[in-house]
Amino acid sequence: MTDQSHPSNVHAAAITAELEWLSAVIAARLSHFFGGTDTPFAPPAAPTLPEGAALAQLINKAPLDTAGRLVLALALAPQIQPAVLDPFFVRNTGIDRPFTEFGALRQDSTFFQPTGQTALFLLGGGDTDRRIAAMGLFAPDHPLRSMAGVSLDRSDALLSGALLIAPHKVAALCEGRTPAPDFSPQFPARRLKTGLCWDDLILPREVVHGLDHIAAWLRNRKTILHDWGMQARLGAGFKTLFYGPPGTGKTLTATLLGQRTGLEVYRIDLSMVVSKYIGETEKNLAQVFDMAEQRDWILFFDEADALFGARGATTSANDRHANQEVAYLLQRIEECSGLVILATNLRSNIDEAFFRRFQMAIGFPKPDATLRAALWRSVLGKMPLSDDVNPDALGQAHILAGGAIINVARHAAISALRREADTISQRDIQQAIAGEMRKEGRTG
What string of H, E and C letters represents the secondary structure of the chain?
A: CCCCCCHHHHHHHHHHHHHHHHHHHHHHHHHHHHHCCCCCCCCCCCCCCCCCCHHHHHHHHCCCCHHHHHHHHHHHHHHHCHHHHHHHHCEECCCCEECHHHCCCCCCCCCCCCEHHHHHHHHHCCCHHHHHHHHHHHCCCCHHHHCCCEEECCCCCCCCCEEEECHHHHHHHHHCCCCCCCCECCECEEEECCCCCHHHCCCCHHHHHHHHHHHHHHHHHHHHHHHCCCCCCCCCCEEEEEECCCCCCHHHHHHHHHHHHCCCEEEECHHHHCCCCCCHHHHHHHHHHHHHHHHCCEEEECCCHHHHECCCCCCCHHHHHHHHHHHHHHHHHHHCCCEEEEEECCHHHECHHHHHHCCEEEECCCCCHHHHHHHHHHHHCCCCECCCCCHHHHHHHCCCCHHHHHHHHHHHHHHHHHCCCCCECHHHHHHHHHHHHHHCCCCC
Beta strands 91-92 and 97-98 are antiparallel
Region 89-108 average pLDDT: 78
Task: Answer for the pair 49, 14: CB distance below 8 angstroms, yes or no.
Answer: yes
Identity at 350, one-letter amino acid code? I
pLDDT tier at 6, thresholds 50, 70, 90: very low
Confidence of residue 278 (pLDDT cuts 50, 70, 90): low
Percentage of the chain modeled with pLDDT above 70: 87
Q: Tell which wins on pLDDT, 284 or 15.
A: 15
For residue 8, is pLDDT > 80? no
How far apart are the C-alpha atoms of 413 and 384, rounded to whole Å?
A: 9
pLDDT reading at 309 higher than 80: no
Find the mean pLDDT for residues 117-137: 93
Q: For residues 15 and 239, what is the distance between their CA atoms, to the nearest angstrom? A: 38
pLDDT score for 317? 56
pLDDT digits (tens, 9 = 90+) for 183-219: 666 678 889 999 999 999 999 999 999 999 999 999 9
Q: Is the model's pLDDT at 90 over the cut of 60?
A: yes
Distance (Å) of CA 3 to CA 15, 216, 322: 14, 46, 53
Residues 112-121 have a mean pLDDT of 93
The CATH number of 369-439 is which of 3.90.226.10, 1.10.468.10, 3.40.1010.10, 1.10.8.60? 1.10.8.60
121 and 114 Cβ atoms separated by less than 8 Å: no
- Cβ(297)–Cβ(218) below 8 Å: no
Contact 297, 266 (CB under 8 A): yes
Residues 379-402: pLDDT tens digits?
999 999 999 999 999 999 999 999
What's the CATH class of domain 189-363? alpha beta
Q: Compute the distance between CA of residue 273 and CA of residue 321 in angstroms, rounded to an integer.
A: 13
Query: Span 323-340, mean pLDDT?
Result: 80
Distances (CA, A) of 349 to 303, 319, 344: 10, 18, 8
Q: Is 323 left (phi over 0), alpha (psi -120 to 50) or beta?
A: alpha
Which pLDDT does position 4 carry in this prediction?
42
pLDDT band for position 234 (cuts 50, 70, 90): confident
Q: Where in the chain is the domain with CATH 1.10.8.60?
A: 369-439
Give me the chain's average pLDDT, please. Answer: 86
- C-alpha–C-alpha distance, residues 382 and 384, integer Å: 7
Residues of the chain with CATH 3.40.50.300: 189-363
Predicted confidence band of residue 166 (pLDDT cuts 50, 70, 90): confident
Tell me which of 236 and 300 has the higher pLDDT. Answer: 300
pLDDT 10s digits, 336-374: 889 999 999 888 877 776 777 789 999 999 999 999 999
pTM above 0.75, yes or no: no
CA 229 from chain centre, in angstroms, equals: 29
At residue 107, the pLDDT reads: 55
Q: Can you tell me the mean pLDDT for 404-428?
A: 96
